[in-house]
Amino acid sequence: MHLIEEHYYTINKSFLKMLGIWPHNKSRFILLQRILITFVTVTYISMQWSIFITAECTMPLFVKTMIRSYPFAIIVMKYFIFMFKSEAIKNMHYQIQQDWKLLRNKLESKIIQQYAHEGQLCTLFIFSFISFILVLVTVIQFLPNILDVILPLDEPRPRRLLVTAEYFIVKTNDKYYYTRVFHELVFLTMCASMIFATATQLLTFAFHSFGMFKIASHRIKYSIEESILHVQKFGKEYTMCKTIMHAVTAHRRAMEFSNIFISCFNAPYCVMAILGIISLSISLYGLIEAATISKSMENLVICFISVIGHLVYIFVASYVGQKIIDYNNDLFKLAYNTSWYLMPVSSQKLILFLMQKTSRDFYFMIGLIFVAKMESSTTLMNAALSYVAVMYSCVQK
């Protein structure tokens, strides 16, 4: 990326490089990185699901296993999507670079920098939150060992993995406990890095779209009005046409970037959205089951964290889509409220063209199924609750 904007994306770039999915990386070891990460994550998830081979498959076991494995499977799928969409992601990086170079004045640079900075703050917040969760999980995993030192009992407290996996070894054999814990923590760290790197990259693209729509709004609100009021009559028509064309260009580039963003992740994220609703339904059912039937505090906490994670992801995706809709609608209102009646006829035709473009609904459509807006988050949650009701009724029978 260009040196001006590169520092806003340093953290995200570092994690994408570490995972081998930075699209500009020409290193020879990128294939080795991908193979190693894929091997660790896929084998661990397979070991989680292999418990159905060694134990009788019951509804409680199914729910317990899926709560601890299904979200990780979706995260790994997201990693594969970024791996195979590297060229499209690279093109979006180039477009961001070009957009920064096409800014016309310091105020526009300040606008795009403000949104890049907001994206950077979100990245730092997500990094801090995920780091806190990893530390918390590590402490909980070693809590029996810590309590045995602080408050020892006659016998050592039972120790088990939080993210269970089938190793096909004798259950009572504690010889490989720390090896299994190390394997678990490496797996969790990789998955946490995946969700952080991919989610913050998508947020980076979203905030850049926000910035470009805001620049288009700025060009309509200030540049056009300034041209109407302060430009001399001689040459006014040329200046007005040029100013409106700059506003149209900014809007077009904002829509182009958003359309590339949508087309790149449309089909795979449609599948992920469906799988995500299934995962949320299982987590909600597990939460109800842990609170009312098994009364297991461990399962209750894990299910609660899983549900919150799903809801936050749905809310953020819906919020980003809603912001895009709002920015496009604001452009239409600004164009409509300009002093168009003071413009030359040729400029009035251009402003009419801009109004026609912005009057059309523009939104993120995921796989021709979901429209990314706040109402959709409620619809998805209602669908998840419906599936929970079906699961609960099947178990009661």
Residue 249: HSE in the Cβ half-sphere, 13 Å Cα cutoff: 12
Q: Is the pLDDT of residue 38 over 90?
A: yes
The torsion defined by the Cα of 275, 276, 282 and 285, in degrees rounded to 10, comes to -140
The count of other CB atoms within 10 Å of the CB of residue 325 is 17
Q: How confident is the model at residue 236 (pLDDT cuts 50, 70, 90)?
A: low
Q: How confident is the model at residue 263 (pLDDT cuts 50, 70, 90)?
A: confident
Q: What does the alpha-carbon distance between residue 352 and residue 232 come to, in Å, rounded to a whole number? A: 23
Task: Write down the pLDDT at residue 41.
Answer: 93
Tokens 């949104």 correspond to what residue?
Answer: 115
Tokens of 47: 């070991």
| 123-127, 266-270, 374-378, range with greatest mean pLDDT | 123-127
Q: Is the pLDDT of residue 3 over 50?
A: no
Q: Are 215 and 108 in contact (CB under 8 A)?
A: yes
Q: Is 230 helix (H, G, I), strand (E, B) or coil?
A: helix
Tens of pLDDT, residue by residue over 278-287, are 888 988 888 8
Residue 48 CB partners (closer than 8 Å, separation 6+): 65, 68, 69, 72, 163, 164, 165, 166
Tens of pLDDT, residue by residue over 175-209, are 778 888 898 999 999 999 999 999 999 999 999 98
Q: What does the alpha-carbon distance between residue 104 and residue 10 come to, in Å, rounded to a whole number? A: 25
Task: Write down the pLDDT at residue 194.
Answer: 94
Give the pTM.
Answer: 0.86
Q: What does the alpha-carbon distance between residue 19 and residue 192 come to, in Å, rounded to a whole number? A: 11
